[in-house]
Amino acid sequence: MNSVQESQIQVAREQLEATKNTIQTFIVGQKDALNQILWSMAAGGHALLEGLPGVGKTMMIRTISEAMELTFSRVQFTPDLMPSDITGTMMIEPNEMGKQQFIFHKGPVFTNIVLADEINRATPKTQSALLEAMGEKTVTVFGETKELPAPFFVLATQNPIDLEGTYPLPEAQMDRFICKINITYPTKEELKTIVERTVTDNQQEISPVITGVEVLEIQKAAANILVAEDILDIAVTFIMATHPDHELAPESIKNYVRFGAGPRGLQSLVKIAKVRAFMEGRFHVSIGDLKQAALPVLRHRIFLNFEGEATGITTDTLILDVIESVTNAIQRT
């Protein structure tokens, strides 16, 4: 890496840090969640936020969109929402000559940031309408493929799946999210601060501090962070150890997991580790970056077997077991 690249990375990091600081002047607490959302966006991926109703998931995403000079649309997912309500549809309209022709009307997905609010309240068919947009950043309607604007992010919220009126997301769509982020309940002090900031006529406004072009530059800068071969080997081992048939899989994985993370999980782990190193001001990925990235990247990519679901064990617990097992194996070598 030459001095010019290092200078570009440093400038991009300062821009992202300024964006985070601006958001934190409005959002109370949730520092880990905010970091992980920004990691996802800097890696060019999509994020899924899970938490109980009323803990500020939607407000956090809206605030992020306001701090960035990006177009924004919100889609409230409901059981009667149709795929065309998201992607858009063809409609017959008269042209200048008075003849009828098909005109494509863009849906809310044609924007920089899509807030898919309560995504797991829609049916699986409608949830799957986002698959192409999230994977290829295009939309195909009546055989015609249309490009989505760049940058493009889906920031989705969902309620815990045991709440009434929710549908589990299809595994293929879960895998499209680079991170699954848990939104925790505020502490006593945070609750007091929330009330002090919101139950008043003096509502704070946020001015954009970063543009879409600068977001794309941040993504390029983060992608240039170096990954040594031994660190990449450790990342591969983390992924393989989530499978019950691997020699380094801990007993909890062997007992409770049906199948673990796949190649997209490895790609996501390395991307998020790069962004974390980037935000920490380093030009190379460390094993600590991999460990910090593992929970948000892998918690939705490990699928429990019947016994695992019956015992109520969490995927976070399993991932921590994997990290410990792999770390101990590294220390022995």
Domains and CATH numbers, the chain: 1-198+208-215 (3.40.50.300), 225-333 (1.10.8.80)
Classify the C-alpha dihedral 252-254-255-258 as positive or negative.
positive
Residue 193 confidence (pLDDT) above 90: no
Query: Quick one: angle between helices 31-42 and 287-298, nearest 10?
Result: 100
Residue 164 confidence (pLDDT) above 70: no
Residue 196 confidence (pLDDT) above 70: no
Q: Of 196 and 312, which is predicted with more confidence?
A: 312
Residue 3 confidence (pLDDT) above 80: no
Q: 139: which 2 tokens?
A: 């939309």
What's the pTM? 0.86
- pLDDT value at residue 237: 94
Which of 42-46, 67-71, 177-181, 233-237 comes out lowest in average pLDDT? 67-71
Segment 36-48 mean pLDDT: 91
pLDDT in tens, 200-241: 666 667 788 888 888 888 898 888 888 999 999 999 999 999
Segment 94-106 mean pLDDT: 75
Residue 107 confidence (pLDDT) above 80: yes
Q: 2: which 2 tokens?
A: 């030459």
Q: pLDDT grade, residue 319 (50/70/90)?
A: very high
Q: What average pLDDT is seen over the chain?
A: 84
Of 125, 158, 201, 147, residue with least CA distance to 46: 158
pLDDT in tens, 256-278: 999 889 899 999 999 999 999 99
